[in-house]
Amino acid sequence: MTVHDPLAPHSHEPNPLPPSPDADLTVHLPDGAAHRITPAALRRLDFVPTGRLSAPAARAMQVTVPNCYIVSTGHGTSGPFSFTGLRLLDLVDLLWPCDWTQVEVVSADGFGTRALRTELTQPTQRPVILAHTLDRQPLSRAEGLVRLIVPSETDDALRQVKWVAHVRIISDT
């Protein structure tokens, strides 16, 4: 029997249609706890325990990354797009501000990628984000809501994960 690993190298042929209308994602913490986050909560950051974040601080956490391209091997490039969302690093630090080494991001159609702490903590103007907005309009489910955007990936789109369903924070300790 072959078991499909969503983090293993995957096909360049993108799935064009959302696997389901449900755009919520679940963040899994190293201790086994899970937080279900709606796209609206990702915009307002109201999944964060009260008292940990002021409203202005929450607004300041929304990041826009301009000039993003979806470079699809074999079937062309689209863009430029301006994506807005929450830094993956900020999501992790808000929910598990301790020891962690990597984060797995997996879609509802079984497509995923992994980001190491060293990558996510690198200072950059073009951070990895969980995008809910495209060119200042709410990202539609068909466009990938919620979509992982990895601006540093410019050769193919294998890390630009549409329909993120699971974010798994991993601690090796």
Ligand X SMILES: Nc1nc2c(c(=O)[nH]1)N[C@H]1C(S)=C(S)[C@@H](COP(=O)(O)O)O[C@H]1N2
Which residues bind to ligand X, rule: CB under 6 A?
A: 12, 14-15, 70, 72, 78, 107, 109, 111, 144, 157-158, 160-163
- Asked if 28 contacts 42 with a C-beta cutoff of 8 angstroms, the reply is no
Q: Which of residues 118-157 bind Mo ion (CB under 5 A)?
A: 157
Closest approach of Mo ion to the CB of residue 14, in Å:
5
Instruction: Please give the residues from 37 up to 96 whose contact with Mo ion meets the rule CB under 5 A.
Output: 72
Give the residue among 37, 9, 33 at the shortest CA–CA distance from 156.
9
Q: Which is nearer to Mo ion, 37 or 157 (CB)?
A: 157
59 or 75, CB closer to Mo ion?
Answer: 75
141 CB neighbour count, 10 Å cutoff: 18
Partner in contact with 127, chosen from Mo ion, ligand X, none, beta carbon below 5 to 8 Å by kind: none
CB of 120 to Mo ion, least distance (A): 23
